[in-house]
Chains A and B, each alone.
Chain A
Amino acid sequence: MTSSALALVNVLAAEGAEGDSGFQSPTIEEFYPEPLVSFSLLGVDFEFTRITFILFFATALILVLLVTAMRRPGIVPGKLQWLAESGYSVVRDGIARDVIGPKGLPFAPFLGSLFFFILANNAMSIVPGLQISPMSKFAFPLVLAVFVWVLYNYVGIREQGAAKYFKDAAIPPGVPAAALILVTPIELLQVFVIRPFTLAVRLFANMFAGHMLLVVFSLGAVYLLQVGNFSVIFAPFSLLMAIIMTFFELLVIVLQAYVFTVLTATYLNGAVEPAH
């Protein structure tokens, strides 16, 4: 069962119960399906919903694809190998080397992992039958953002020394002393709080909103068909919008994976190179 169908059931149930309730728009409950498995381990509650399983599925899928592609690599690549290498080359050469510079290549595996992980999970939002991205659950983008945050702060301290790194973060060179009253809190907040938060929220909100849009237009089409008056003629338009938004979602899927990786590289660049 898809979440859309699940929502439809809810809508119909609500209609049946209240008789005349009109269009029941999808709620935040879209993202909180019934847990399929739930247990408690060391005082932590685990609820494995279908979204959790989609996360595992997407991760396993991209792993299997990449491992299969590179199991017996050839000098002349096959189709799958070429695809995998192209994806990694975009991150390795286009992001790690071009954004960070020559020191960026050691980060290519991390950036590549981020890219493929986000891409695979985002892609689940338009796979028929699954149709929801685990990245629309804030926990997963947050985990990635925290990894990024830890990494770039660690690299900054390692490359520049703790004193210089924090001093440059708090007091950017070239700023007049009087302006520091304003600049210092903003800079500190930006480097240590806002960066990881925006990184996580940008990805989460894009996938969240994308899913909501698809659900609204899909449910809208169903509702318009069933409401039983002349509004039936608008149902195809709602369906068409759902299809158009699916293609738009495809764009967002790739773009957000790329943006997340590029921003990570930018932060790493700031950590590797002393501030100007």
Chain B
Amino acid sequence: MNILAAEAHNPLIPPVGEIIVGIIAFGILYFVLAKFVFPQMEKTFVARREAIEGGIERAEDMQAEAKAALDQYRAQLAEARTEAAQIRDAARAEGQQILEELRTQAQEESARIVARGEEQLAANRQQVVNQLRGQIGQLAVDLAGRVVGESLAEDARRSGTVDRFLDQLDGMSSATAGDGRGGASAYVPQGER
């Protein structure tokens, strides 16, 4: 039976029934795959790509944010620095001014002290001179009285001889020396003698 059938079979001439079966089988497979499976795969590919790209995007956003924050901090720092510099400059200027004021004040003070000292010195000197003038007059009259042997005090006081003499001496010393001091120094040795 088999042998007889073999003569009838040609492998390159398929029966119509088999062709129809093949069409149906492939048709069903194509329908299911193209309708459900492959679109699902495409969707998964897209979702996966988006997940990856989304991650990258998020990271980029974060980086941009961090960069913005950094820039802000830098700007603030620079601002603070300029402000500090300004404050420093201002402080320096103020210090300079205060120093200047103090200096002028001190100079004024010292000038005033010097002036007062000179004034006092002059007053003392005047006082001393006046005192000395009195004492020297008395001394001179006493000495002269002792030399003459009698008291000339009354007469001398009456006539103002001593004063006149001293005025002459003053006039002489001021004529010989340039200033009052020269007169005084020229006068002192005379007094001590």
Q: Which chain A residues have a beta carbon within 8 Å of chain B's beta carbons? A: 10, 27-29, 31-32, 44-48, 52, 55-56, 59, 62-63, 66-67, 69-70, 73-75, 77, 81, 84-85, 88, 108-110, 112-113, 116-117, 137-140, 142-144, 147, 201, 204, 208
Most buried by B among A47, A77, A139, A140: A139
Q: Which chain B residues have a beta carbon within 8 Å of chain A's beta carbons? A: 2, 5-6, 9, 11-23, 25-26, 28-30, 32-34, 36-38, 40-41, 43-45, 47-48, 51
Check B41 against A140 for contact (C-beta < 8 Å): no
Check B36 against A67 for contact (C-beta < 8 Å): yes
Check A109 against B6 for contact (C-beta < 8 Å): no
Also in contact, A142 and B26, with CB within 8 A (given A29-B6, A88-B41): no
Question: Which residues of B lie under 8 Å from residue A73 when comparing CB positions?
Answer: 40-41, 43-44
Also in contact, A63 and B29, with CB within 8 A (given A52-B21, A85-B44): yes
Also in contact, A113 and B26, with CB within 8 A (given A10-B2, A52-B21): yes
Check B18 against A44 for contact (C-beta < 8 Å): no
Check B29 against A113 for contact (C-beta < 8 Å): yes
Question: Which residues of B lie under 8 Å from residue A201 when comparing CB positions?
Answer: 12
Question: Which residues of A lie under 8 Å from residue B14 when comparing CB positions?
Answer: 137-139, 142
- B18 (CB) vs chain A CBs: closest residue: A139
Check B18 against A137 for contact (C-beta < 8 Å): yes
Q: Other than the known A59-B29, A137-B14, what 15 A-B pairs have Cβ atoms closer than 8 Å?
A: A27-B6, A28-B6, A29-B5, A44-B16, A44-B17, A52-B21, A55-B22, A70-B36, A70-B41, A74-B44, A85-B45, A109-B38, A110-B34, A113-B29, A117-B29
11 CB-based A-B contacts, threshold 8 Å: A52-B21, A59-B29, A63-B33, A67-B32, A67-B36, A73-B41, A85-B44, A140-B18, A140-B26, A142-B19, A147-B26
